[in-house]
Structure 1
Amino acid sequence: MILHNAFYAKKKVLVVDDCEPIRSAVKGMLQKIGFSNIQSASNGAQALQKATEVKWDFILVDFNLGDGKDGFQLFEELKYKDLLAPHCCFFIISAENRRPQVHGLVELQPDDFLLKPFTYKGLEKRFARALAKKRILAKVYQAIDEKEVVEAINHCNDIIKNESKNALVALRMKGELLLQIGEAQRALKLYDNVLEKRSYSWAKLGKAIATFKAGEQNTSEQQLFELLESEETRLEAYDWLGRLNINRQDTATAFEMLIEAGKISPRNMVRQRAIANLAIANNEVDEAVRAYSRILKNSRYSVFDTPENYLNFARSLLDLCTDSNKLEIAKQVTKCTELMGEIERRFYSDSVKAQEAVLKARIAVLKGEMESARDLLDESEKHESPYDSADDRLDKAKAYFATGNLSRSDEIMASLDELVEKDDLISTTLQVLVEKEKEGHEELRERIRQLNNEGLKFYQNAMYPQSVECFVEAYSFMPNNASLALNLVQAITKVGTFLTQGHSPKEMKSICNRCMTIIEQSDLSENNMRRYHSLKPELIQLLSEKEIA
């Protein structure tokens, strides 16, 4: 015990809890163990500030810290900002043992998770266990901290060779590092050797991941499905089944797997973003809306609390409007406007002026205010933004497409690949989304082109009713394109009536009115404007006639 007292007396420990009596009680336990350099914080913000000033040896954080950051978010931010020293032992304390909470914490990999109540003897045992692992892997952690992965693997080899009683922990770390640098076959051999001696869950999971990375998808899938049976490996098995099916381009199954993982650990922001990306790729926009809603709820006070969360949520709400009625559109536009107001209140909004202008342009399109929409897109091009993500560019491409500016939309779509190069879950699912959007974009462009060409051929052959039908269908895909609108109204004047095979006279009158509004709000060529003005008297005459029963 004297040895322990001398050891702990040199260590710095931070206790974070919003309840002063509990801070005092934990401090008393720490003093019994031998600590003398003990500081405390009553909330996440104070703890974050202290972590920027001192490299702590031990940090004990209660999960529930009242208003503001909770223990999960504090740990998340400390890791994200590299504020934890490699030797630091981080402990989360909680009075609750709810599965989603525990799973979320386990994913962040604290050194231990303490359930209240506990004694100083129990705390000392946990410290000893965490310190033993830190001591064994000290050089490994240091190399990882310095981004020297190969060196970290070499240190693992030294432990495996020279310290047989600690070989297992070094083997586990080595396997993870080999997968990290793409050495799937070496990792596979390592896990097979471990499993020959004993059936460890972590080795089974590692083997399944290595098998997938080695290109044996069917075998890996079978192994991962077996791992779903164990609570210890279920979360990561669902995650990797998601990645495996993304690799197969089976986005529907990938989405289902990630949804299951999200149910187990709902606070993982990366997974929720991946879920949203796949939902949009699968045309399940309502699921994307739910995912972004979860992100917004769980990111408040976290390091991931950014304007982008609000922008993406707003974008998904506008995507919902594609096949909605006027009442539903108004509802989503109101929500979208509220989200932009929240950005204004909570963030330095100048940084996202360009993105907000694009959202406002999409809202203007939904309201039929095409001139305003084009002006807002022009405004968006004038703002420089620190954000320029694939999400931003996709949104802008959609806005330009909706206003009928196909060339600018195509240009933006072509620029997307350069933004999705990483091999993480968000980038992988974003690449799927980009490819789906590009594929859909091109298919739609080709369909519109075909219909327009067919309409022109019918028109040239004086088959005017058939010409109108083709132009109406093309116009339905792109109702804000002035050239299509002009072709349609010209064909209508040749028919001389609003009677068509597929639409009522009332519908056709409405379409004709919208076409005229679009044409008059657009910057057409001089020749096309002459065409329109020569047609306009006939159109007005047609619109003034009573509908034929």
Structure 2
Amino acid sequence: MKKIPAPLEPREISVLIIDGQSLIQDSVKNALNEVGITKVKNAQNAFYALRLCENTQFNIILIAFDVSADKDGFHLYEELKMKGHIKKDTTVVFLSAETSPELVNCIIELQPDDFWVKPLDRAKVERRLSYLLNVRLKLHKLLYCLDHHDYSAAIYHAERQLLDPSLKDLVPRIKRIIGDCYINLHEFAEAERYYTKLLEDYSYGWVSIGLTRALLKQGKKDEADVLIEEMLERDDTRFNTYDLLAQYHIEHEQYAEAYEQMKEASRLAPRNINRNKKLWDLARLNHDKMGQYQATQNMARYAKNSIHDSPELTLNVIRSGIDLATNLTIEEATPFLQKAERDIAALKQTRGSMAVGDEQLAVLQARLLCVRNDKSGAEKIMDEQVSMRDNASLEDNLDKMKAFHELGQKEKSLAILDRLGKQIAGDTFSSNVVNEYLKQESIERREISFTAKELKEMAAVNYKENRMGPAFQNLKHALKLSPQNKQVAMSLLKVLTNIAKTDRLNPEQVGEAQKAKVLLCTAQMGPAQVAKRDAYLKLLGLDEDEE
């Protein structure tokens, strides 16, 4: 076993206080001096904090949530961690005057060592500091092993520390670390036994979360459901439970269920950019254009001034807005198109390393023209300014593929789509979902040559000319592209009702009618729409509840 260095003495410990209030800085600094810590640095804002961390590896970092306008504490913590300035053995304390449930959920998710609510009480600060220093000293070997991902050694040290009567107050924390180590080692059966035993003595949320994770990883969903029902009622476990369920459903290719769970998790802890990215991926896979648009908006909003911030986030908002517009009438689409045009104009003003490429903007302009039915203008832009070569970004290539498809240039669209799979690798949450999304796109782009809006318009013309068969095919494809579109579902029932007047519906038509029924019977609708739906279902013989 690798030799572990001795723990630091208080006089060797370095501390960084990140807070814009000098009163807070002075109060904490004086408390630190009382416990023998004198190597203390202050940072008024995130920018200066990052500069200090580049030169010093701090042992204790206190982060105010409301650091300053340049970056909030949540994103600063993320950046410090990603850059290696915060390690497993770094003691982290969050400071905040705000205690809203959303903020608390976000902070809990980061798992700091402590959370102090402002205004700070001097005596309480000294007590908490003494406690945290004691934890650092006594768990030094254990934290060192965790920082070096040596989970077997961590379990070895943890089990021995549980035998030490002087560590009585730290027993729950030590036991939590042991459980985390079993999960990290993928010893899920052992983790199940371990957490089951712990549940006899502890009611902590992390015990239930750990046991549920171990059960789900072994496919024991029925056993996990008993715990899940309880955890969804608890404030301290609810959003972690939604995350667990989303991952479980992804692994079992149950993408609609995963999407619902991820929406709930994101609502409870909205600042997590990676979770919003998962939500975006699932929205795309589930054909929820509005959900896709909202997820990209949240990503751009919460990533502002963070390590995640980039013009790509604005590009993705524009792209998802155009995707949404392709499913709407021109009147419905206008606000989204106007917002996209304003965002494009702002991106054109970007200079330097954050600038957006000319080809990216050209593709967006072409797609906007397509939505506005100016396909000749769009085709001119694509011919003159856009190449067929590979782009570095998956999203750039996806956008280009959509532009060619919307122009009816199917061969170019499919050629790009065939290459996209090579850009996805691994078995992570994101790659699994995006892989499935690309498969779905490949099937739909080959089968369906038009956007949902174009298909609805074609269906309206065919219906008016009494061509019910083609109208049905148009609406069937439109519903496939927009499976939550109530207007399309209602139009589909209307067309099928007309077909049923002169001919018996075939199995395909009955199946599509059932899909429309399920959507319209679960959606919120006004009395007039409900009456119209019920009339169609009665004429089709689908008004009886299925057993």
Normalised to the residue count of structure 2, the TM-score between the two structures is: 0.74
Cα offset for 1:382? Answer: 7.2
Determine helix, strand or coil for the equivalent of 2:17.
strand
Equivalent position of 2:445 in the other structure: 441
Cα offset for 1:426? Answer: 3.4
Q: Which amino acid aligns with 1:301?
A: N
Q: Which amino acid aligns with 2:397?
A: R
Q: 1:467-482 residue pairs with structure 2 within 5 A?
A: none
Q: Deviations over 1:77-129 (max 9, x none)?
A: 11122222443211111112111111101111222110123333322332333
Determine helix, strand or coil for the equivalent of 1:92.
strand
Determine helix, strand or coil for the equivalent of 2:237.
helix
CA distance in 1, matches of 2:339, 2:230: 43
Is 1:237 matched with 2:236? no
Determine helix, strand or coil for the equivalent of 2:326.
helix
Cα offset for 1:392? Answer: 3.1
Q: 1:376 to 1:132 in 2, by over 3 A?
A: farther
Equivalent position of 1:13 in the other structure: 15
Equivalent position of 2:151 in the other structure: 152
CA distance in 2, matches of 1:128, 1:217: 43
Q: 1:321 to 1:183 in 2, by over 3 A?
A: same
Equivalent position of 1:79 in the other structure: 81
Native 8 Å contact 2:15 2:40 kept in 1? yes
Cα offset for 1:132? Answer: 4.0
CA distance in 2, matches of 1:138, 1:270: 31
Cα offset for 1:205? Answer: 1.2
Equivalent position of 2:545 in the other structure: none
Q: 27-36 or 96-105: which moved more?
A: 27-36
Native 8 Å contact 2:280 2:292 kept in 1? yes
CA distance in 2, matches of 1:42, 1:117: 17
Q: CA RMSD in A?
A: 3.5
Q: Which amino acid aligns with 2:232?
A: L
Equivalent position of 1:39 in the other structure: 41
Q: Which amino acid aligns with 2:387?
A: E
Q: 1:142-221 residue pairs with structure 2 within 5 A?
A: 142-146=144-148, 149=149, 151-161=150-160, 163-165=162-164, 168-221=172-225
Equivalent position of 2:371 in the other structure: 366
Q: 1:139 to 1:421 in 2, by over 3 A?
A: farther
Native 8 Å contact 2:205 2:237 kept in 1? yes
CA distance in 2, matches of 1:201, 1:331: 44
CA distance in 1, matches of 2:182, 2:359: 42
Cα offset for 1:173? Answer: 2.1
Of 413, 426, 429 in structure 2, the residue corresponding to residue 409 of structure 1 is 413
Q: Deviations over 1:184-213 (max 9, x none)?
A: 223223223333454443222111111111
Q: Which amino acid aligns with 2:157?
A: D
CA distance in 2, matches of 1:342, 1:270: 25
Native 8 Å contact 2:93 2:116 kept in 1? yes
Q: Which amino acid aligns with 1:341?
A: A
CA distance in 1, matches of 2:477, 2:201: 63
Q: 1:236 to 1:471 in 2, by over 3 A?
A: closer
Is 1:381 matched with 2:393? no
Of 336, 356, 361 in structure 1, the residue corresponding to residue 361 of structure 2 is 356
Paired positions, count: 455
CA distance in 1, matches of 2:35, 2:318: 52
Equivalent position of 2:544 in the other structure: none
Q: Hey, which of these two has a bigger chunk of helix by percent?
A: 1
Native 8 Å contact 1:271 1:425 kept in 2? no
Cα offset for 1:172? Answer: 2.2
Q: 263-272 or 180-189: which moved more?
A: 180-189
Equivalent position of 1:339 in the other structure: 343
Q: 311-320 or 131-140: which moved more?
A: 131-140
Q: 1:239-388 residue pairs with structure 2 within 5 A?
A: 239-346=243-350, 348-350=353-355, 352-377=357-382, 379-381=385-387, 387-388=392-393
Native 8 Å contact 2:390 2:397 kept in 1? no
Native 8 Å contact 1:65 1:71 kept in 2? yes
CA distance in 2, matches of 1:32, 1:135: 17
Determine helix, strand or coil for the equivalent of 1:231.
coil
Percent identity (aligned): 25
Equivalent position of 2:399 in the other structure: 395
Determine helix, strand or coil for the equivalent of 2:199.
helix
Q: 1:200 to 1:349 in 2, by over 3 A?
A: closer
Q: 71-80 or 246-255: which moved more?
A: 246-255
Equivalent position of 2:528 in the other structure: none
Cα offset for 1:12? Answer: 1.5
Equivalent position of 1:531 in the other structure: none
Name stretches of at least 5 consecutive residues in structure 2 with no aligned partner: 1-7, 456-464, 479-497, 500-547
Determine helix, strand or coil for the equivalent of 1:164.
coil
Q: 1:360 to 1:119 in 2, by over 3 A?
A: same
Q: 1:152 to 1:472 in 2, by over 3 A?
A: closer
Q: 1:323 to 1:198 in 2, by over 3 A?
A: closer
Q: Deviations over 1:310-338 (max 9, x none)?
A: 11111110011123233343432221122
Q: Which amino acid aligns with 1:381?
A: S
Q: 225-234 or 118-127: which moved more?
A: 118-127
Cα offset for 1:254? Answer: 2.2
Q: Which amino acid aligns with 2:60?
A: F
Q: Which amino acid aligns with 1:11?
A: I
Normalised to the residue count of structure 1, the TM-score between the two structures is: 0.74
Determine helix, strand or coil for the equivalent of 1:113.
strand
Is 1:227 matched with 2:227? no
Q: 1:463-502 residue pairs with structure 2 within 5 A?
A: none
Q: Deviations over 1:368-394 (max 9, x none)?
A: 443543454453437875x422x3333
Of 79, 87, 90 in structure 2, the residue corresponding to residue 88 of structure 1 is 90
Q: 1:238 to 1:344 in 2, by over 3 A?
A: same
CA distance in 2, matches of 1:42, 1:339: 32
CA distance in 1, matches of 2:254, 2:220: 16
Q: Which amino acid aligns with 2:206?
A: W
Cα offset for 1:181? Answer: 4.2
Q: Deviations over 1:417-473 (max 9, x none)?
A: 33343444433443443343334334426999xx9xxxxxxxxxxxxx999986997
Q: 1:203 to 1:419 in 2, by over 3 A?
A: farther
Q: Which has the larger radius of gyration?
A: 1
Q: Which amino acid aligns with 1:159?
A: A
